[in-house]
């Protein structure tokens, strides 16, 4: 620190002058560039999706209206209604959440409120390994284990490709995501609230379920939404286990709780269609090829919506403690 005596000849204005810090400038600059690159990439993807989709929508065979209203997806027959693919995606996402929310939440409550440090230190890395397994492995697990298992339980009403098997395995896939996000939210609940609860004579279960979980609810909900958008975007498992036939339906004729929502039959999802079409041998500039961009754009908007929903939830969560 400069003390007055040794630098008397330097004026106070000069002493107080802003110093140059080249290293700081360099590091801040690099950080900015890194941030800018990721934004640029996102914009680039959007541009690509948008412009290719435009080609699709301006084709005389399709109209934007029928794309978003028709319930038949048969590219060979020239009908491009996205609802069967959305239906497949939503069915699988719903089944996945049915599996993942109870399992993930229980795991989070156990890890955050019950497990000893030793147990926690064992389980958390295991969950992280689960995240690291390639999804194609999960896909084969669905096909060679889950589907036969379901068929041995429910009989041959279960198709070889079916959304139940795919949905349950996607559920397993997102369990670690839900459990770790929910556990983070619960760990952020101040200990003083737990003490208050115990001090009033609450048991551990009452404290966990009626103090900690409600206090962490927004964080937990945000985690579920993130997991949901992960399930919506999951590709490999659904391509392998749910089959490649879009579940074309007609609202008047097919029964809602029969064919339309049947868990035992296969259904193509948005991601499944994109994967198969993009890897198949169709040429550029065909309408089939362009359609995957329109689907991609829809998918992008869906996950964007889900992510901003989760953001909004988290924001509310922060306000609660202030």
Task: Return residues touching another protein (CB under 8 A).
Answer: 116-117, 190-203, 206, 210-211, 214-215, 320-322
Give the start-end residues of each E strand in 12-132: 73-74, 79-80
Three-state secondary-structure class, residue 289: helix
Q: Which two tokens stand for residue 253?
A: 């004729």
- Toward another protein, which CB reaches closer, 191 or 279? 191
Q: How far is the CB of 316 from another protein (least distance, A)?
A: 12
- Toward another protein, which CB reaches closer, 95 or 111? 111
Q: How far is the CB of 101 from another protein (least distance, A)?
A: 22
Q: Which residues contact 309 (CB under 8 A, 6 or more apart)?
A: 225
- Toward another protein, which CB reaches closer, 1 or 117? 117
Q: How far is the CB of 193 from another protein (least distance, A)?
A: 6
DSSP H/E element including 73: strand 73-74
- Toward another protein, which CB reaches closer, 45 or 119? 119
Q: How far is the CB of 209 from another protein (least distance, A)?
A: 11
CA distance 164 to 93: 10
Q: Which residues contact 9 (CB under 8 A, 6 or more apart)?
A: none
CA distance 302 to 157: 32
Q: Report the DSSP beta bridge partners of residue 73.
A: 80
- Toward another protein, which CB reaches closer, 197 or 229? 197
Q: How far is the CB of 196 from another protein (least distance, A)?
A: 4
- Toward another protein, which CB reaches closer, 49 or 313? 313
Q: How far is the CB of 188 from another protein (least distance, A)?
A: 12
Number of DSSP helices (H) and strands (E) in the chain, helices first: 15, 2
Task: Check if the beta carbon of residue 109 is closer than 8 Å to that of residue 216.
Answer: no
């Amino acid at each position: 620190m400069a003390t007055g005596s040794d630098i008397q000849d330097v004026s106070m204005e000069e002493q107080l002058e802003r110093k140059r810090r080249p290293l700081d400038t360099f590091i801040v600059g690099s950080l900015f560039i890194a941030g800018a690159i990721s934004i640029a990439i996102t914009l680039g993807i959007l541009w690509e999706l948008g412009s290719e989709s435009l080609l699709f929508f301006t084709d005389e065979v399709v109209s934007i209206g029928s794309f978003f209203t028709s319930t038949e997806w048969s590219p060979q027959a020239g009908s491009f209604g996205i609802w069967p693919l959305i239906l497949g995606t939503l069915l699988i996402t719903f089944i996945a959440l049915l599996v993942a929310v109870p399992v993930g939440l229980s795991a989070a409550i156990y890890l955050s409120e019950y497990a000893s440090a030793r147990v926690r230190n064992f389980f958390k890395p295991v969950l992280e390994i689960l995240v690291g397994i390639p999804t194609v492995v999960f896909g084969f697990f669905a096909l060679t284990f889950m589907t036969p298992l379901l068929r041995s339980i429910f009989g041959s009403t279960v198709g070889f490709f079916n959304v139940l098997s795919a949905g349950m395995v996607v559920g397993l896939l997102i369990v670690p995501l839900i459990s770790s996000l929910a556990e983070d939210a619960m760990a952020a609940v101040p200990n003083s609230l737990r003490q208050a609860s115990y001090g009033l004579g609450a048991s551990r279960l009452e404290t966990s379920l009626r103090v900690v979980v409600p206090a962490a609810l927004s964080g937990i909900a945000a985690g579920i939404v993130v997991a949901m958008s992960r399930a919506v975007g999951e590709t490999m498992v659904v391509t392998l286990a749910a089959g490649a036939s879009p579940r074309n339906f007609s609202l008047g004729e097919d029964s809602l709780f029969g064919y339309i929502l049947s868990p035992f039959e296969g259904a193509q999802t948005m991601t499944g269609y994109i994967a198969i079409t993009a890897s198949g041998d169709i040429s550029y500039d065909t309408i089939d090829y362009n359609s995957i961009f329109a689907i991609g754009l829809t998918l992008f908007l869906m996950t964007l919506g889900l992510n901003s929903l989760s953001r909004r939830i988290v924001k509310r969560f922060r306000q609660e403690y202030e």
